[in-house]
Amino acid sequence: MAINGSRRAARELTARLGFSASSATLADEVGQLADHVQATADFEADGDVAGLLGSFWHGILTPFDEIAAGARLRRAIHGQLVALPGGDQLLALSTNEFAALANFADTARSIQDGAENLRSLDEKPIDETLPAIRAQLAILDKFLLVDPGRVLASVEIPIQQISDVATLLSQKSDISQRLARSPLAYAIEALGGTQPEIDNTERAIDWVKSVQSAMGPGPLRRALTGSDGQAVRQLLHEAALAGAALSRSYMTLIESLSSEFGVSGLSSLLPNALVERLDFLTAHRAELGDFLAIRDHRRVLDAAGLSDFLACSDRLVLAPERLPALFETLVAFGQADLARRASPEFGRQDGATLEARRRTFAERDRIKINSDRSVVTARLLQKVPARGSDTGPRGVWTGMALLRNEFPKQRRFTPVRGLLSRAGDSILTLKPCFMMSPLSLAKFAKPGQLEFDIVVVDEASQMKPEEALGALLRTKQIVVVGDANQLPPTDFFNRSADTVNSDDDFEDIDDESILEACEKTFREVRPLKWHYRSRCESLIAFSNAEFYRNSLITFPMARPSSFSVDLVRVDGTYQARRNVAEAVRVAEESIQFMRRFAELSEETIPTLGVVSVNIDQRDLIQEELRRLSAGDELVERYCEKVQKRGELLFVKNLENVQGDERDFIFISLTYGREPGATAPRQRFGPINGKQGHRRLNVLFSRARIRVALFASLGSADVRPSESSAKGPHVLKRYLEYAENRGRARPC
């Protein structure tokens, strides 16, 4: 009979049968009961046993003990008859004949007993033999009393079989008694009245065992074995069918995404993660066209053999704009390696030999530089300055006569313009290299008085053509050096501080620089592509990409992941062109820096420069540095060492830092929210001007080793509009560059 799912009825039945309350042992005991019931039913239905016992067969009520005893007796008699002379004939007698022969039993027994007695008398005395004979007779009498009606004589079943049947009957009786004492006795018949019902019961017990031993969730196991077990099993079956259909559909879509779009990794995601990934992809469905276009290009590159290169780029999360240069580098490296292996001469070279040659070349280069200096000095010393005239009043003396008269003076010097006018040739012989601004040259040298072989105009992007005109008229050859992406000509220093009320008052002038004028006029331009200043590529990488289209040749660090721009967050406010909190933080970090490195040697001590975006912030930082460094021996020691090295600590504003460089540069960005405001105003002084981006390029490229950017605002606070100048856009991108440590901005 099938289990009807009534858990309560099952518990009551097992309790009545006396089974254990434990679920684990209950199943075993009920299983044993089922086995017994099955064995009893098999015995009752055994046709062979029924045919053997004939009319004596009454199922489990058959008197097996008596039948067994009769069978044993018959076997014993049969064995004795066979051993007797003529025993075969006796066994061949019919029942009636055998019964008639029984009339002679007493006579035969008497004869036999007599013969036995006579034989025993020959061996023992009669008084010893008689007790033994009487004991044997008593045993035989007891045996005969077992079957007084001689019923066993008519049983044809062997005594052994009768004994086995008796054992089964005894076991059945014991089990029946145990079941009668069990609280579940009333349910015994319902569980196993017929063989099919017993089979169903066994299957149900096996199901309960398998569910209890399963590793599934506890609530699920309890539901499967509870009163609603059948409904739960049906629900699980339906869910499994639906899940299988979904799985087939899902795998089909996964294969389609992989083969058509190159999307991989979805099959290994957990359901929650898969939902998040699909939500993300759905939110970016507008980018599908771009994605497919990129995928098509990627397939072309994969077919060209670049699949490993692209996979490595994805794994390292490289910015797409870096891939062309990186690919060219790898190709160049491969070509160099191929050339090295193809050429026996290259193949014999090793790193140690090349390093030795490099050191030799560098040493010889230094020797040549020093030698050239000595040669130039020797040639200059061979020249004798013009003696000049020492006749007449000293006010008309010229040449060396005038200079010798000036050397010992302590006061009442001849003006520089007068010296250059009366002794210019002698001065050029003594000092053939002048370093001065074009305005100073025009001020101190009269037209036509001095002529130079060559004039070099440095930082030409800041110089107006009219300012350089005086120098151009005094030379045979001109070299103009500058960077059109750095500071332009400005009237910043020509304006009174009283005329500047806020950052909004500043505007760039549109004057052309001497650099731009010469570039248009002479059209002979030689770009300097090697960037020598920054020892870490990350210091120049932003400017290289933003201003030079990645055309600068830089030197990568030994650790590609290194990043040398530190963003220092400051909770400062911007008021009256100053950020007090930021100035204090910059000054404190500068003092700590100098104290930290004060004990290093002059050759190894790092130098420091501090830059602000305006003069007011510069002055505030200087005041804080003076206050914090007063009486500090370590700071004084640091300043002495860097002074001997020729690179003093400087604090400058953005407009006059071009041309300077230091190992470490601290930048005070200054701008931030005003007191009481929640967001900064979009006023960034000169950065908002037409050439603001060029000022930022100068600001970001002054360091050799590291930049510390002190900022009271983030990239999200800079919100340039479409009409904004380029400067605010560059500022926002540089803040993102620092925030993401050189990595591509996340989408």
Residue with tokens 């914090």: 628
C-alpha distances out from residue 17 to 14, 37, 92, 182, Å = 5, 14, 56, 3
Whether the per-residue pLDDT at 696 is higher than 80: the answer is yes
Q: How many of the other CB atoms lie within 10 Å of CB of 729?
A: 17
Q: What is the structure's pLDDT at 14?
A: 66
What's residue 486's pLDDT?
87
Residue (of 736, 747, 743, 724) closest to 322 by Cα position: 743
Rounded to the nearest 10 degrees, how much is the dihedral formed by the CA atoms of 285, 290, 295, 298? -150
In this predicted structure, what is the pLDDT of residue 289?
A: 79
- pLDDT bucket at 438, cuts 50 / 70 / 90: confident
Lowest mean pLDDT, pick from 71-85, 103-117, 560-574, 637-651: 103-117
- Segment 489-506 shows an average pLDDT of 54
Query: Could you tell me where the beta strands, DSSP code E, fall in 481-572?
Result: 565-569
What sign results for the dihedral spanned by CA atoms 167, 171, 173, 174? positive
CA distances from 113 to 75, 104, 140, 141, 674 (A): 22, 14, 14, 15, 142
Better-predicted residue by pLDDT, 699 or 496: 699
Region 417-433 average pLDDT: 89
pLDDT in tens, 247-269: 888 788 777 777 776 666 677 77
Instruction: State mean pLDDT over 77-96.
Output: 69
- For residue 567, list its beta bridge partners: 709
Label residue 440 exposed, middle or buried (CB < 10 Å: 0-12, 13-18, 19+). middle
- Token pair 């006396």 is found at 18
Tens digits of residue pLDDT in 600-637: 999 899 999 999 999 999 999 999 999 999 989 999 99
DSSP per-residue letters across 560-607: TT---EEEEE-----BTTB-HHHHHHHHHHHHHHHHHHTTS-TTTPPP
Give the length of the chain.
Answer: 747
Which positions ≥6 away from 243 have C-beta within 8 Å? none
pLDDT value for 119: 59
Of all residues in the chain, the percent with pLDDT exceeding 90 is 23
pLDDT class of 565 with cuts at 50, 70, 90: very high
Closest by CA to 572, choosing from 717, 693, 428, is 717
Confidence of residue 497 (pLDDT cuts 50, 70, 90): very low
Question: For residues 170 and 2, is the Cβ–Cβ distance under 8 A?
Answer: no
Question: Does the pLDDT of residue 185 top 70, yes or no?
Answer: no
> 655 near 490, Cβ under 8 Å?
yes
Res 375: pLDDT: 94
pLDDT at 627: 94
Confidence of residue 575 (pLDDT cuts 50, 70, 90): very high
Q: What is the DSSP string of 123-160?
A: TS-HHHHHHHHHHHHHHHHHHHHHSTT--GGG--S-HH
pLDDT at 104 over 80: no
Lookup: tokens for 468: 């350089």
- Distance of alpha carbon 391 from alpha carbon 66, whole angstroms: 174
Nearest-angstrom CA–CA distance, 312 and 320? 12
* Per-residue confidence band for 280, with pLDDT thresholds at 50, 70 and 90: confident
The stretch 364-378 carries a mean pLDDT of 94
Better-predicted residue by pLDDT, 704 or 98 = 704
Q: Which residue has the higher pLDDT, 490 or 724?
A: 724
Distance CA 19, CA 184 (A): 8
> Would you state the pLDDT for residue 559?
60
Residue 400's alpha-carbon distances to 346, 380, 534, 628, in angstroms, are 60, 16, 46, 51
10 exposed, middle or buried (CB, 10 Å; 0-12, 13-18, 19+)? buried
* 545 closest CA partner among 742, 275, 287, 262: 742
Tokens at 62, concatenated: 């058959």
**363 vs 296, more confident:** 363
DSSP 486: S
Residue 1 is predicted with a pLDDT of 45
pLDDT (mean) for 120-138: 71
SS3 label, residue 704: strand
Q: Which amino acid is at 628?
A: L
User: 457's torsion region: left (phi>0), alpha (psi -120 to 50) or beta?
Assistant: beta
Question: Do 732 and 720 meet the contact criterion of CB atoms below 8 Å apart?
Answer: yes
> Which residue is listed with tokens 């359901």?
271
CA distance 60 to 85: 41
* pLDDT at res. 491: 63
Residue 672's pLDDT is: 93
Q: Residue 632: what are its φ and ψ, rounded to 5°?
A: -90, 110
Question: Which of 57-71, 154-168, 271-285, 471-485 reaches the highest mean pLDDT?
Answer: 471-485
Contact between 613 and 712 under an 8 Å Cβ cutoff? The reply is no
Residue 736: its pLDDT value, please?
Answer: 93
Residue 663, helix vs strand vs coil: strand
Angle at 630 between CA 625 and CA 634, to 5 degrees: 90
Query: pLDDT by residue (tens digit) across 161-176?
Result: 777 777 887 887 787 7
Q: What is the pLDDT of residues 501-530, one digit of tens each?
A: 555 555 556 678 889 888 888 878 888 888
Of residues 59, 76, 57, 81, the one with CA closest to residue 67: 57
Most confident of 3-7, 143-147, 632-636: 632-636
Instruction: Tell me if residue 614 falls in helix, strand or coil.
Output: coil
Structure-token pair, residue 190: 């319902």
422: how many CB neighbours lie within 10 A of its CB?
22
Q: Is the pLDDT of residue 316 over 50?
A: yes
- Ranges assigned E (strand) in 311-447: none
Across the range 559-566, mean pLDDT stands at 78
The confidence score (pLDDT) of residue 9 equals 67
Range scoring the smallest mean pLDDT among 60-74, 89-103, 627-641: 89-103
* Rg (the chain; Cα; Å): 58
- CA–CA distance, 102 with 93 (Å, rounded to integer): 12
The most confident of 20-34, 143-157, 198-212, 566-580, by mean pLDDT: 566-580
Is 450 in contact with 424 (CB distance < 8 Å)? yes
Domains assigned to the chain? 7-212 (no CATH), 387-522 (no CATH), 538-739 (3.40.50.300)
Most confident of the following: 217-226, 254-263, 386-395: 386-395
Q: What is the mean pLDDT of the chain?
A: 81
Dihedral sign for Cα 577, 580, 582, 584, please: positive
**Separation CA 292–CA 747 (nearest Å):** 18
- pLDDT of residue 500 exceeding 60, the answer is no
Decide if pLDDT at 335 tops 90: no
pLDDT digits (tens, 9 = 90+) for 649-676: 999 998 889 889 999 999 999 999 999 8
- Rounded mean pLDDT, 129-136: 78
Q: How much is the pLDDT for 85?
A: 66
As a whole number of angstroms, the distance between CA 625 and CA 455 comes to: 39
Longest dimension (CA), the chain: 199
